[in-house]
Structure 1
C-alpha cells in the first residue's frame, strides 16, 4: 500500500473511532492533516476572539517546514495510535 493510500485510509478511519479523541489529539491530527494536504500555513492567524480558529492555526503552524510526505506518515501513525487506544466502531 502506498503512502497516499495509507493516508487516505487513515483519513476515513479517523471518522470511525468509537469515541472522540481529546482536544489535544484533535489539534495534532488537524495540524498534520493541513500540513500533509496544503503545506505550510498560507493564511493569517485568526483574530483575538476566535479561540478555536487560533488553536487550529497554531497546531498547523507548529508543523511549518515539515515535508508533506513526512506529515502524512505522522498522520497515519497518530491515527493508528488512536485506533489502538479508542477502537473503531
Structure 2
C-alpha cells in the first residue's frame, strides 16, 4: 500500500470524527474527491430534475473529470486535514 493510499484511508476515518459537520459545499467537495479517488471519472446518467441532491453530487464529481485518482486522494486528505485543523475555507 502506498503512502497516499494509507493517508487516504486515515482521512476517511478522520472525517467521521470531526467535531463539527462541514458545510454543504465542503461535503460536496469531499464526496466528489472520494468518488474520483475510488472510481475515477464520473459515469452513469445525470440524475433528473426531481433528484436535486443527486444532480449536485453528479455535477461536483463531473467537475473533477480527468483528475488522477492519486491526485484526488491527496486532495481529499489535504481537505480533511484542513477541516481537522480548522483552516478549511
Instruction: Give the TM-score band, short-chain normalised.
Output: over 0.9
Moved segments of 4+, more than 6 Å: none
Q: CA offset at residue 7 of structure 1?
A: 0.2
Q: CA offset at residue 42 of structure 1?
A: 1.1
**How far apart, in 1, do the equivalents of 2:20 and 2:77 lie?**
18
Query: Partner residue of 1:23?
Result: 24
Write out per-residue CA displacement over residues 21-47 of structure 1, whole angstroms, 9 at most, x where no aligned residue.
000000000000000000001111101
State the TM-score, normalized to the length of structure 1: 0.93
Query: Partner residue of 2:49?
Result: 48
Q: CA offset at residue 19 of structure 1?
A: 1.1
Number of residue pairs aligned between Structure 1 and Structure 2: 86
Q: CA offset at residue 13 of structure 1?
A: 0.5
Gaps of 5+ in 1: none
1:3-82 pair list within 5 angstroms: 3-82=4-83
State the TM-score, normalized to the length of structure 2: 0.93
Relative contact order (alpha carbons < 8 A, sep ≥ 6): 1 or 2 greater? 1
**How far apart, in 1, do the equivalents of 2:43 and 2:54 lie?**
14
RMSD over equivalenced CA pairs, Å:
1.2
Gaps of 5+ in 2: none
